[in-house]
Every structure is written in structure tokens, then in C-alpha cells.
Amino acid sequence: MISTGRKILGYVAASAVLLVGWQLLAMLIASPALPGPAPALTDFVRLFVPALLPQLGYSAWRVLASVAIGTLLAVPLGLVLGRSPRADAVFAPLVFLSYPVPKAVFLPVLLVLLGIGNTSIIALIALIVFFQILVTARDAARQIPSGSVTSVRSLGADRWQVFRHVVLPASMPDVFTALRISSGTAIAVLFFSESTAGQTGLGWYIYDAWGRIAYSEMFAGIVAMALLGVVLYELIESAERRVCRWTRAGR
């Protein structure tokens, strides 16, 4: 397992590389639209408490609620489809027909049905996360060796015990992998939905700063959204270490 100290050191080194690359790119382009890291980070510190922190709170609430709703709905349904051939035969075609459709196109529909604000944004992100987790959970459950299930049933386990002690533990590493991937998608859709349909949040803040030609403030908002993505990723990593301890035993 990678120690906390090494992980922090890795983040510091990666941040230094990104800052140097950012500065070099800003010098090369020499445009007000791409300020260097110094003015952007200065505005980030100056505006964090009065302006960025409230918008960060809105965005964090939306993305956390969306990921939680999408995951809690998708995991049990995906595992049931993966272990029930009859249910899979009925619902899998519907899932795979609707999965490739870009869910972002439903934002206007959600705005009409749910209005502008938290509900429509959370519904859109939850819908995207739901399908990504659902497909992964279904495939993970289908790949469980039949011998693992048979051996537990031979000991007298019922369906619920097989699900709890075999299907769920065997599928969770793949589910967390999909959840980590979904976190990046969730942040991207959060920006799109807040800048299009929101009146609060980091996406709205970035779009508003762009409209005011306040480019250093815009990049301060981008930094805040990047930090939100990193924190969300680390939360998922921490949850995986607690839930799937056996996968980390030899690391």
C-alpha cells in the first residue's frame, strides 16, 4: 500500500510539473485569456472565502448527491442482472440500447420537468453515473466463477447469503473502478450543467468570470473545480480501501 507521505509527495511533484507547464504555456501564448499561475492562484487565495467557498459548497453537494444516488440504484440492479439470466434477458437489451445515448442531451428535458436548480443537475449527473456503474456491476457479477457459488451453497447458504458473501464482495473492486472513472465524468458534467442551467456553483462561477473577461478569476474557479475532483477521487479511494481490504492485503 502506498503510504500517505509518498502520496502527498507525489501530488506535490505533479502539481509542480503542472504549474511549470502552465507558466511556460502562458508565456508561449502570451494572451490575457491564459494568465500564468501566479495571478490565478493569487485570485484563488483572495476570493476563496468570500466567493469560491460558497460555490464550492454548492458543487460538492450536487456531485456527492449525484454519485451516491447513481451508485445506490445501479449496484443492486446490476448485480441482480448479472446473476439472474431471466432478468438479464428482459432488461439487458434495454440497458445496452440506452447506454450509448449521450445523457447530456436530456438536460433540456430535465430542465422542463424539474426546473433550473439542484434537482435537474443532480438528476443528470446521477443518470450518467447510474449507467456506468450498472454495466460494470452486471459484467462483474456475471464473471464470478460458478464454483465459488456452488461451494457456498453446498454449505447451506441461501440466495441472500450467496449474494452477501460471494457476489457482492467479488464485484465491489470492479464497481469501485467504475466509480473512480465516473467521478471524472461527474465533474465534467457538473461544469456543463452548472454553466448551462445553474445560477450557483463552480461551473456557473467559471462561466460568469469568462463573460466578465476576468480570466484570472476564471482560472481560480478552474483550480477550485480541479481540487473538488481530486477530493472526490480520494474519497472513493478511501472507501475502496475500507470496503475491499482483501484486495490491498498484498500491496
* Span 160-214, pLDDT tens digits: 888 888 888 889 999 999 999 888 889 999 998 998 877 899 999 999 999 999 9
User: What does the domain layout of the chain look like in residue ranges?
Assistant: 1-30, 36-248
| Contact of 122 with 58, CB cutoff 8 Å | no
pLDDT over 80 (residue 78):
yes
Fold for 36-248, please state it.
MetI-like fold (1.10.3720)
For 6-47, how does the pLDDT look when each residue is reduced to its tens digit (9 = 90+)?
Answer: 878 888 898 899 999 999 999 999 999 999 999 999 999 999
196: which DSSP letter?
Answer: H
What predicted TM-score, i.e. pTM, was given to this entire model?
0.87
- C-alpha cell of 133? 456503474
Q: How far apart, in whole angstroms, are the C-alpha atoms of residue 120 and residue 127? A: 11
